Structure 1
Amino acid sequence: MIQQDILNGVLLPGQKLVVADLKQRYAVGASPIREALVQLSWTKYVCLEPQKGCWVAPVSIGELTDLYDSLRFVASALIKQAITAGDESWELELLTSFHKLSRIKLSQEDVGWAEWEERQHQFHISLLEGAVSKNMLNFFNDLINQAKRYRYYAAVNGLDNSAINLDEYEIIMKLALAKDAEKAAERLDIHLNRTKEQIQQIIESAA
């Protein structure tokens, strides 16, 4: 619940998190609250320091750039591995995840960002999970979960849904299925960098 409130902008970047206040907000005891804050500190959703307390992690262009530079580096290696090693089940999962993503129309009022976010997240996972390096996949998962906070921040603070181009996802999928590893890696890199630039514009305009 705390994580979702951070994503949805109910709890703002830099906001102090006091256990007594959170107990009242979520109607749970102090121990579960403290445990939740510790777990959220592991995923870098909150900052937790002895003697100083706890607060929602701030957003910064520096961290955003570091996250997406790391994502781009790891994703380039993973997509090449996935295309080389991926079997028919990987191809089917990739097709399925794109189909589910393509069914989402963010222009519709009854479609929320959370549903789009979950489906595009699954598309990225399906695209890369054919790779043989499980350690690198786990690292990618960690990075993309941290980046989710930035994507939600952009959505909450005025990201134009028209900036999201479904054609990018389709091109990447088709290149992957065609076993064109170099071009697929190139288009994925462009896609991730464009996402970073869109979020950066939101952060700069909110400053």
Structure 2
Amino acid sequence: MSSPTLTDKVAKLICQDILSGELKPNQKLVVAELKEKYQVGASPVREALIQLSWIKYITLEPQKGCWVSPVSKSELYDLYESLRIISSVLLEKSIENGSESWELEILTEFHKLSRFKFQGDSFNWTEWEERQHAFYHSLIKGCLSKNMLNFVDDITRQIKRYRHIALNNQPNSFEDLFDLELHEKIMKLTLDKDIKGAKQLLDDYLERMRSEIEPTVKSIEIA
């Protein structure tokens, strides 16, 4: 067995190359080539590929090999439909049951998001994405359901791959979604315990995000 630390490192490198577009959907992955690329042995590469198959970034087929997982319009729709439904339920539960510490965490994460600096061509998408995820996670964290939050994390992780594919093909496609005023409105509706208003605005935002990604996924399917 290889070192877990080395396996995790290789998995992270492969994941980064998938998100950056260097490794593309449906691309076959050969262990010998990955060994040379990342300068490691075969064992950590194989174990890393298994790890990434658990989060559905890699597709493994016994006796046939492995590929970067394909993308499809139907899967994109299913992922966002699932996220919209579960987010709506958890947001409502959070508003109903959330504590003062939950409210404080929302305010804290929004403050961090609002402090993000947009710098034109040097825009740090990764940092924005991390801050935005932390903010949206704080909104539903008050539901007090670890299993459902883990389910949201799983869906979000899969959507992240789709979003990066769209960004790699259309770098400016998400500019109108960096809307702090919208995020602030969602926060205020949540803290005001306006369940209907908060759920509707969050749902609208998720649907807008899906619609921005869909054209790129459709073009990949046709190609």
Moved more, 156-165 or 73-82: 156-165
Report SS of the residue matched to 2:26: coil
Q: What fraction of aligned residue pairs are identical, expressed as a percent?
A: 55
Deviation readout 1:57-110 (Å, 9 max, x if unpaired) = 111111100000000010000000111111121111111211222222445333
Matches within 5 A, 1:47-196: 47-160=59-172, 161-164=174-177, 165-196=179-210
Q: What corresponds to 1:33 in structure 2?
A: 45
The code of the aligned residue for 1:180 comes to D
Q: How many angstroms apart in 2 are the aligned matches of 1:103 and 1:58?
A: 36
Alignment gaps of 5+ in structure 2: 1-12
Report the counterpart of residue 214 of structure 2 in structure 1. 200
Moved beyond 6 Å, runs of 4+ = none
Q: Which amino acid in structure 2 is aligned with residue 51 of structure 1?
A: Q
- Looking at structure 1, the residues matched to 159 and 210 of structure 2 have their Cα atoms a distance apart, in angstroms, of 9
Root-mean-square deviation over aligned CA pairs: 1.4
Q: CA deviation at 1:55?
A: 0.6
Q: Which amino acid aligns with 2:175?
A: S
The offset of 1:132, in angstroms, is 2.2
Q: Is the 8 A contact 1:106 1:113 kept in 2?
A: no
Q: Which amino acid aligns with 1:203?
A: V
SS at match of 1:130: helix
1:18-63 per-position Cα deviation (integer Å, ceiling 9, x unaligned): 1111111111111111111111111010111101110111111111
Contact 1:82–1:131 under 8 Å retained in 2: yes
* Aligned mates of 2:216, 2:180 — CA distance in 1: 20
Asked if the contact 2:72–2:218 (Cα under 8 Å) also holds between the matched residues in 1, the reply is: no
The alpha-carbon distance between structure 1 residues 30 and 200, as it changes in their structure 2 partners (threshold 3 A), is same
Q: Is the 8 A contact 1:157 1:202 kept in 2?
A: yes
Aligned residues: 207
Deviation at 1:168, TM superposition (A): 2.2
**Cα distance change, pair 27–133 in 1 and its aligned pair in 2 (3 A):** same
